[in-house]
């Protein structure tokens, strides 16, 4: 049934919704560029289906700006593998979506091209950093979109916009052509209007790619859930409820929506078990050391010589300095400074090395919990619903939006968000996490819950 809605939504439908929602003072500003000539192919599992792609995935016929002035107008000479696979499956790539600059952010307010508005309530943020893709799906322009995840950038906007978002296992989807933020954490992720549609999108883009040395040479099973006819399709499934993700400080309304989802899982045949992942509280500090460290190195390539913006300058030192200070926004600059600091000779052991040790601990705790007979974990996706544009101005407070999502990136495990209810009309997301390469189990449980 859900896949029928996907087939029925044609490219012409995408443009009529797009024309109604994108522009104007109250417009969503979800897209940075479009390709009105895209039609897709007549055959393939996404034949003629309009799809949107985050602007940090390389495309041949549209710019790839990463939401940054430093790449303004930049057109890649090659195409990301995930984008190529969508095209080969028949999809029409209709546009590139707005995002936090270089995928750094949790609200989409860090884009150099203006914030994105949440289609559910246009005074609010869509979440970030893949907020443009989330808004494109939630508004009905497209039913499938690609995003990227370094620490929750698909799941958190999916939660804020009331749609489905998947972060696959690290290595499940090729990163070739995904502009690097923090390479050991980055993933291509998928948004869908429903679980089935998101699963179909993932099915198309998953698989080994010789152009990405970290892409896994692991068979991709059938990911689109088939629940059969049983009333209790989740019989035998053990779902862990990690206590650290339901702290006493959690908004009781968020907790209640998640408890209701857990009760539904039990009604569907699953067993819910209390579990503990004690190092969870260290995830935010660890993430905000490792991600900026890797970013400071990855973003060194924007020097005004090879890509995009170049400041006119008499000597090379001034050229670098001016290009970078003109091209990068405040959050990107903050991360580069933080990253170079934690990697510097006197501080490397104290920060970066310790963060890597704690990262291993976090990973081990997941490994142990999945080895103990727990198939999935269920938690809230984010501690709050979508906040108002401009409401969160303290960077540290913004970083706390990622408290429940960064762990999956640190451990490399698959995770997803799906809608589990509303608070005052605003969507609440519930999160599943699974053992490495077990996206199929997570998607089955999510489909049953949906």
Residue numbers annotated as active site: 54, 129, 153
The residue count for binding ligand GLN (CB under 6 A) is 14
Total residues belonging to the chain: 450
Residues 298 to 317: which contact ligand GLN by CB under 6 A? none
129 scored as a contact of ligand GLN (CB under 6 A): yes
In sequence order, the 6+-apart residues with CB closer than 8 A to the CB of 287 are 151, 185, 402, 406, 409, 410
* Pure H helices in 268-329: 283-298, 316-327
In whole angstroms, give the CA distance from residue 65 to residue 325: 17
32 scored as a contact of ligand GLN (CB under 6 A): no
In whole angstroms, give the CA distance from residue 233 to residue 227: 6
Binding mask 384-413 for ligand GLN (x = CB under 6 A): ------------------x-----------
Binding mask 131-150 for ligand GLN (x = CB under 6 A): -----------------xxx
Q: Minimal distance in Å, beta carbon 58 to ligand GLN?
A: 16
Q: Minimal distance in Å, beta carbon 399 to ligand GLN?
A: 7
Q: Which of 30, 38, 103, 283 binds ligand GLN (CB under 6 A)?
A: 103
> Which residue in 238, 232, 234 sits closest to 272, CA to CA?
238
152 scored as a contact of ligand GLN (CB under 6 A): yes
106 scored as a contact of ligand GLN (CB under 6 A): yes
Q: Given the complex with ligand GLN, which of 283 and 445 has the nearer CB atom?
A: 283
Q: Which of 105, 131, 157, 162 binds ligand GLN (CB under 6 A)?
A: 105
Q: Which of 46, 161, 234, 291 binds ligand GLN (CB under 6 A)?
A: 291
Handedness of CA 239, 245, 246, 250 (dihedral sign): negative
153 scored as a contact of ligand GLN (CB under 6 A): yes
Rounded to a whole number of angstroms, the distance between the first and last alpha carbons of the chain is: 13
- Residue 411: Cβ-neighbour burial (10 angstroms; 0-12, 13-18, 19+): buried
Q: Minimal distance in Å, beta carbon 19 to ligand GLN?
A: 29
In whole angstroms, give the CA distance from residue 421 to residue 447: 15
Stretch that binds ligand GLN, among 97-105, 236-244, 303-311, 381-389 (CB under 6 A): 97-105
CB atoms within 10 A of CB 60: 16
Distances (CA, A) of 349 to 293, 410, 418, 426: 13, 19, 39, 43
429 scored as a contact of ligand GLN (CB under 6 A): no
* Pure H helices in 89-222: 131-138, 155-161, 195-205
Q: Which of 46, 104, 125, 413 binds ligand GLN (CB under 6 A)?
A: 104
Which positions touch ligand GLN (CB under 6 A)?
A: 103-106, 129, 148-153, 181, 291, 402
């Amino acid at each position: 049934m859900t896949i029928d809605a996907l087939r029925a939504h044609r490219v012409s439908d995408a443009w009529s919704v797009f024309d109604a929602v994108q522009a104007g003072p109250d417009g969503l500003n979800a897209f940075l560029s479009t390709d009105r000539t895209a039609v897709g192919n007549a055959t393939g599992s996404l034949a003629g289906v309009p799809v949107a792609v985050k602007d940090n995935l390389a495309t041949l016929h549209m710019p790839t700006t990463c939401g940054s002035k430093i790449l303004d107008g930049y057109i890649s000479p090659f195409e990301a593998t995930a984008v190529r696979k969508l095209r080969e499956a028949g999809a029409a790539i209709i546009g590139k979506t707005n995002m936090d600059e270089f995928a750094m952010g949790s609200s989409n307010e860090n884009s150099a091209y203006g914030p994105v508005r949440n289609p559910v309530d246009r005074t609010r943020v869509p979440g970030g950093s893949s907020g443009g893709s989330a808004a494109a799906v939630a508004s009905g322009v497209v039913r499938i979109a690609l995003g990227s995840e370094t620490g929750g950038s698909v799941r958190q906007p999916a939660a804020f916009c009331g749609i489905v978002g998947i972060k696959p296992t690290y290595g499940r989807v090729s990163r070739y052509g995904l502009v690097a933020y923090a390479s050991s954490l980055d993933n291509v992720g998928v948004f869908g209007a429903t679980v089935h549609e998101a699963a179909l999108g993932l099915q198309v883009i998953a698989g080994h790619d010789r152009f990405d040395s970290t892409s896994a040479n692991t068979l991709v099973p059938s990911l689109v859930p088939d629940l059969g006819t049983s009333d209790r399709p989740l019989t035998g499934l053990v779902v862990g409820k990690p206590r650290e993700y339901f702290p006493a400080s959690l908004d009781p309304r968020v907790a209640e929506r998640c408890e209701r989802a857990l009760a539904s899982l039990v009604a569907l045949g699953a067993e819910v078990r209390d579990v503990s992942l004690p190092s969870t509280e260290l995830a935010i500090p660890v993430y905000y050391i490792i991600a900026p460290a890797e970013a400071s190195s990855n973003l060194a390539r924007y020097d005004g010589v090879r890509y995009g913006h170049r400041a006119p300058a008499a000597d090379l030192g001034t050229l670098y300095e001016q290009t970078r200070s003109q091209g990068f926004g405040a959050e990107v600059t903050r991360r580069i400074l933080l990253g170079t600091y934690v990697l510097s000779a006197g501080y490397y052991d104290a920060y970066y090395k310790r963060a890597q040790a704690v990262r291993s601990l976090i990973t081990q705790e997941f490994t142990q919990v999945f080895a103990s007979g727990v198939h999935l974990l269920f938690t809230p996706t984010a501690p709050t619903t979508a906040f108002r544009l401009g409401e969160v101005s303290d960077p540290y407070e913004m970083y706390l939006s990622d408290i429940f999502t960064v762990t999956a990136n640190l451990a490399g495990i698959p995770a997803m968000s799906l809608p589990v209810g509303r608070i005052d009309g605003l969507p609440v997301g519930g999160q599943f996490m699974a053992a490495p390469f077990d996206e199929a189990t997570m998607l089955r449980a999510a489909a049953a819950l949906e």
